[in-house]
Amino acid sequence: MSELILHHYAMSPFSEKVRAMLGYTGMRWQSVIVAPMPPRPLLAPLAGGYRKIPVAQIGADVFCDSRTITREIARLSGKPELALEGCSEEVREFVRRTDLEVFFACVIAAGGPKLLYRFWRQTSLMTVFRFLKDRIELGRTAKVRTASPKKAPGVVREHLADLEIRLEKRPFLFGDTPNIADFSAYHSLWFIRDVAGSPLTAPYPRVNAWMDRIAAFGQGEMSSITPEQALETAKAATPRPLPAGDDASLVGEAVTIAPSDYGLVPVSGTLVAALPDGWVLSRHTAQTGSVQVHFPREGFAVSAR
């Protein structure tokens, strides 16, 4: 089996969620660095124009959204608690809120000159301008309500106070070992504390100690490859067999699949599986040959073309 390939960039919060999880599991993986915003011409043949990052790849199977990526990590590592399906409803609800409402509040609260300066140091002034324009457009078309810049810090402080209480008698949020909730909560706060340099987390010593424990896991055994090598890996591989689905109504049909919250760019292909927890499209390009693109059901919508 091919190693997991992660298409990501350094300052991406959801990429950090996956990188931290790879560190916890000690997995070997390959890294492809992509631009912080579209266009990404060497990722498009794999993911069909899907715009969110990260994207993962195992051979000729491509995984969009961190929910499908963490599911693969849980499967490969034998740690079901790293996928939503392996956790209680309490954990699932915590992750849903943290990955959307709290995430946006953290990003909004982290914004400011210091963050832009750090971003500029890693890229260029032109990239900063393009990034800001892209994120403004992303927010304009989003279908989720986000906290205003005035209210976002309050949402973050409420979240931090909740975590501080949870961590009073245990090292991780729901017990003695981490599960998907820890990594979902970690990446947004990593963006605030470690990327933006914000003091918001400073009054919460247990939260900071917990973040340090997550960071100490590292990022697994990473090796770098080029985007062209990732395309070659896909072309040399065969998509994996799929289990029988629970809904055959659109299977075999030409469809589009798009996020229903933000980043609403549709991906076109032939629906080859409608699984209880996800959709799978088949796509073919000259650069990749046939690939299967996996999406979660939650947060995505499928439409006949």
Give the tens place of pLDDT for each residue, 77-130.
Answer: 999 999 999 999 999 999 999 999 999 999 999 887 777 777 777 777 677 677
Tokens 């393009």 belong to which residue?
A: 130
Architecture of domain 87-216: Up-down Bundle (1.20)
Two tokens, residue 5: 């390939």
Could you report the per-residue pLDDT of 52-73, keeping only the tens digit for each? 999 999 999 999 999 999 999 9
Q: Domain limits of the chain?
A: 4-80+222-304, 87-216
CATH class of the domain defined by 4-80+222-304: alpha beta
Its pTM stands at 0.94
Could you report the per-residue pLDDT of 256-298, keeping only the tens digit for each? 999 999 999 999 999 999 999 999 999 999 999 999 999 999 9
Q: What are phi and psi of 227, to 5 degrees?
A: -60, -35
